[in-house]
Amino acid sequence: MALSDAIEELERKRAESNAKADESRAKRDRLNAEARTTAETRSRILDELHDKSAEAQDHRRLRDTFNTQVREEKRLREEWNHKFQELGDKVQELKRTRQPRAGAVPVWRLRKELKELEFRHMTTALTGEQEKRLIEEMKRLEASIREQDEQLRQDPEVEQTLKEFTEARTEAETHHAAVGKFAEDAQREHEAMVVLYESVDALRRQADEVQTHLLEVKAQADEAHRAHIAAIEEVRDIEKMLYAARGGRAPQTWGEAEPPKEEDFLARLKKGEKVSTEDLLELQKSGRP
């Protein structure tokens, strides 16, 4: 009964190896499917990461452009402020050096008197008549100042200087406004860039996590594939032994090796140890049915 027992044990082991091969193949296929899904997820994350990174780069370029314009507008503002100050000093110097008509009070003195009256009007309790006379005097001084200013403007040099003075003030104010506008634009682009870079960092961490999981799944799939191949090879080896046990031709001969004992052969087979086709053929040669 030894040979028939061996054949029965081999058939049992073949069935186990076939089941193991099927189980390993199913596990491999499941893991490979999970790996494909994970790779697709990683690809989507990387695409979004690249898009946001490119968008952040666009915002950074715009921010840098606006900051360059801020620096240029500051330079122009400083330049025109300097001109404005110089022309203002020149206007005051011309007003001091250009003499009014003969007998006229200088404008600087008229302005001083006007300020004194304005202060008195705001700080002194006056009767109705006193307030009326004070206001009339203030109007007279203002009219005298305007008259002398108009006369002063008849001087071509004064008129040209006043014109340049007004233009310089306008230019300085224009560049000052531009500084504020470009600074706001640069800040807006900077904030948008920061938000996108934070999103890019989060996506990069997510992509790294998915990549780590992908490598783990692929390693498990490779291990399952190797187990599947090993089980298939085991089935083939068992089938060769079954073929030999049932009267097939042995692929090799024992030569001078000592044949195994029946008890040793069955014990090794039941323990799951490797036995060769030659072992089984030698047992068959021993004459046991």
Query: Is 106 within the bounds of a domain?
Result: no
Query: Is 150 within the bounds of a domain?
Result: no
pLDDT, position 254: 35
With 0-12 CB in 10 A as exposed, 13-18 as middle and 19+ as buried, what is 72? middle
Q: Is 0.75 surpassed by the pTM of this model?
A: no
Quote the Cα angle for 117-119-123, to 5°: 120
- In this prediction, the residues of the chain whose per-residue pLDDT falls under 70 are 1-3, 98-104, 108, 151, 153, 247-289
Query: Is 68 within the bounds of a domain?
Result: yes
pLDDT, position 268: 56
Residue pair 151/101 in contact by the 8 Å Cβ criterion: yes
For residue 57, give its domain range: 2-98+155-285
pLDDT, position 272: 56
Q: How many separate domains does the chain show? A: 1
pLDDT, position 178: 97
> How many residues belong to the chain?
289
Report the interhelical angle of 156-245 vs 128-153 (nearest 10°). 80
Nearest to 198 by CA among 5, 28, 49: 49
Write out the two tokens for 118: 């304005």
Query: Is 146 within the bounds of a domain?
Result: no
Query: Is 28 within the bounds of a domain?
Result: yes
Query: Is 223 within the bounds of a domain?
Result: yes
Query: Is 123 within the bounds of a domain?
Result: no
The enclosing domain of 223 has a CATH number of 1.10.287.2610
Query: Is 141 within the bounds of a domain?
Result: no
